[in-house]
Amino acid sequence: MLVVAFTVIVVFVLSFYIWHQMESVRIGYTINDLKKKVKELSEEVEKLEAKRSQLLSLERVEKVAKEELNLAEPREDQIIRDDSNL
Amino acid sequence: MSILYQNKAYRRTIIISFLLVFWLTIIIIRLLQLQVFEHARWKEEVQGQNQDEVKILPKRGTIYDRRGDIMASNILRKSVYYCPSKGEPYELRIEKINTLKDVLGLSETEIRNIRERIKKNSPFIWIKRKIDQSLEERLGKLSLGGVYLVDENKRFYPHGKLAAHLLGRVNIDDEGLSGIEFRYNSILKGDKGEYLVMRDAKKREYLIEVLKEGKPGKDLSLTIDETIQYCAERELEKAIIKTEANWGTVIISNPSTGEILAMASYPACDLNGPPQNLTILERNKAVHYNFEPGSTFKIVTFAAAIEDGKISNQAIFDCSQGYIPIAGKYVRDHERFGVLTFPEVIVHSSNVGTIQISRSLSEDAFFRMIKAFGFGEKTGIDLPGEESGILRPLDGWTRSSLAFLSIGYEISVTPIQLLQAINIIANKGIVIPLRTVNKKPDFPKLPMETNVERQRVISEDTARKLTSMLERAVQEGTGISAQLKGYRVAGKTGTAQKIDPSTGNYSPTSHVASFVGFVSAPNPVLSMIVVIDEPKGRYYGGEVGAPVFRDIASHVLRYLEVPQQKDYLRNIRAENPWRRAER
């Protein structure tokens, strides 16, 4: 009886140990995947910020304004300044 | 029967026991062999299969302009490498490389280097680093054994050629080579990290252990303003194309803080372009180029004369001949002026008058004034490759040196030195160090940091008198093309002949045109120097440099919302003295 009980305990401990190991590895995979995801998203944010900066570069904005939207620099007489503080 | 059975059973037991012991012994021997005698070898083998020590290159810091716009950042790019498997024949390896050659467009030099590495049996060979995204898919379809892709950061400049000389560039390993990238490399690059990666049989990563924590590079905030930089580059490019000049440079600063707001040079090139095109960025002419300044240097002569106190504002100088003999040579004015008062000499940039004024100065006093303005020494701006100019020591001066120096010859200066000189006048005689990087990570509007080192060069009274003269130079003198409606401008033109290297004499056709000045009222808000090398046709500083100053400053002042002054809202003078001179 004692032997059976001992065997059951040993089997239980071993099973728990194996389950623990398996679970640790599984969580390791999940953590690693999430870390990768975070990194990818950070990279994506950085890439989009750079892209935004590129699209808003003044050379491009001026080109689009002048060539596609037919806008022009304001003439001096078209500029109204707030001279109240003079 | 039972004895026979017992014997048989005994024998079988003995045999089975023997076999078991034998089997166990073999197992133990094998275990001993694997676990004890060959432990190190197998451990290494296992670790090689499921553990990798990965060195992570730090992400380089982002460079921002003063308002937080990105000037340089990083994007992920794939790099291709080849790990030949053991026993792979040399011919097969070369065949793989030849396949990659067509896909990746490898040059002959690159192929040669790779072949050499293969011959040396290198376990790791870079094929091509940081490839374009379009190549990634093509490479994936090839599925060549031993050829892998890895992510690497690549420096990316969202504005292409904007501020290219100032920003500089990096090499393939992200080490700064020039400009800000080089000067602040230690801050931007960060520290490498080391990780231990555990993989399972399917090569999936399940544990990452940090061996050494890597540090990403720190971000940098420049004093440069993207909009002002763009205005400067656009107007400079227009001027260079219009005048068919070799090159040009413009520097704009906030004189009261020493912050560089823009530093433009033309020609420039896209920083994201091929590395072989980027060599023109290695020399930033704004801080590197030495040239004889000509008349812009007269501000130093006049500062020395005013400080000396021997000449009053009412003193007159006969410039009616239009020339003056110096050491067997004739120094000429660009037109005959007649008799000029002390301020009129600088207003009309008379060489004859300036040389007469220099005769009242002692060589020692003038030399000290030149040194006090910082000529012959680096300004100390935080950029690499700054030149100190050439100022001969006093004991190397000839009898004519004082005269020639007074009109900006026999001395070489850099554009940044001239800008610092005009800033001293704008700052009422105080020198404030120039810089391109903000020490604080915020981006407030002007005026900004004032906690900087201050050192007096000339008295406040001298600076005020000089400012008044330079304002007249723009109102009625050679700098009339720099006038701005609604703003008071002080400035000085310069036109210097260049030495012809083939003859060693001054060339009658090669000039450096320049204009240095500042918007002076109500407080100095911006100062600027424009230098244009060898303009064709019209070549005077007042014709070539001053209009660039005006065009850039008018945009910048509107952008900075600097209010106009009522006194200066009247129509500006229409007549250009250079046109008058032509008549």
Out of B73, B200, B206, the one facing A46 most closely (by C-beta) is B73
Task: Give A17's DSSP letter.
Answer: H
Tokens of B272: 């994201």
What does the pLDDT read at residue B566? 67
What does the pLDDT read at residue B576? 40
Place of tokens 């002949």: B497
Distances (CA, A) of B380 to B19, B375, B532: 88, 12, 23
Report the distance separating Cα B267 and Cα B289, nearest Å.
14
Contact A58 B227 (CB under 8 A): yes
Q: How many helices (H) and strands (E) does chain B have?
A: 19, 21
Distance from the Cα of A44 to chain B's closest Cα (Å) equals 9
Q: Which helix (H) or strand (E) element contains residue B468?
A: helix B460-475
Q: State whether CATH 3.90.1310.10 applies to domain B53-221.
A: yes
Out of A29, A49, A82, the one facing B206 most closely (by C-beta) is A29
What does the pLDDT read at residue B4? 64
Q: Does A49 touch chain B (CB under 8 A)?
A: yes
Out of B156, B208, B230, the one facing A32 most closely (by C-beta) is B208
What does the pLDDT read at residue A12? 94
Contact A50 B159 (CB under 8 A): no
What does the pLDDT read at residue B564? 81
One fold for B53-221 and B226-273+284-582: no
What does the pLDDT read at residue B56? 76
Instruction: Name residues 500-559 of chain B within 8 A of A (Cβ).
Output: 558
Report the distance separating Cα B250 and Cα B528, nearest Å.
7
Structure confidence by residue, pLDDT tens digits, B88-98 = 788 888 888 88
Q: Does A85 touch chain B (CB under 8 A)?
A: yes
Contact B159 A59 (CB under 8 A): yes
CATH of domain B226-273+284-582: 3.40.710.10
Whether residue B409 contacts residue B292, with contact meaning beta carbons closer than 8 Å, is answered with yes
What predicted TM-score, i.e. pTM, was given to this entire model?
0.84
Tokens of A46: 């950085």
What does the pLDDT read at residue B571? 47
Whether residue B124 contacts residue B81, with contact meaning beta carbons closer than 8 Å, is answered with yes
What does the pLDDT read at residue B122? 81
Out of B75, B158, B565, the one facing A86 most closely (by C-beta) is B565
What does the pLDDT read at residue B93? 86
What does the pLDDT read at residue B443? 38
Helices (H), B51-197: 90-104, 108-119, 133-142, 164-167, 179-183, 185-189
What does the pLDDT read at residue B573? 47
Residue A61 pLDDT greater than 90, yes or no: yes
What does the pLDDT read at residue A2? 83
What does the pLDDT read at residue B445? 41
Residues of A in contact with B230 (CB under 8 A): 58-59
Low-confidence ranges of chain B (pLDDT < 70): 1-4, 203, 439-454, 521-522, 566-583
Q: Where are the domains of chain B?
A: 53-221, 226-273+284-582
Distance from the Cα of B73 to chain A's closest Cα (Å) equals 7
Report the distance separating Cα B246 and Cα B265, nearest Å.
11
Place of tokens 């391109």: B436
| Closest C-alpha among B341, B321, B244 to residue B535 | B244
Whether residue B266 contacts residue B236, with contact meaning beta carbons closer than 8 Å, is answered with yes
Distances (CA, A) of B571 to B345, B347, B484, B485, B492: 25, 20, 10, 7, 21
Tokens of B168: 């500089």
Task: Look at A63 and B440; give whichever has higher pLDDT.
Answer: A63
| DSSP secondary structure of B311-365 | S-TT-EEEETTSEEEETTEEEE-SS--EEEEHHHHHHTT-HHHHHHHHTTS-HHH
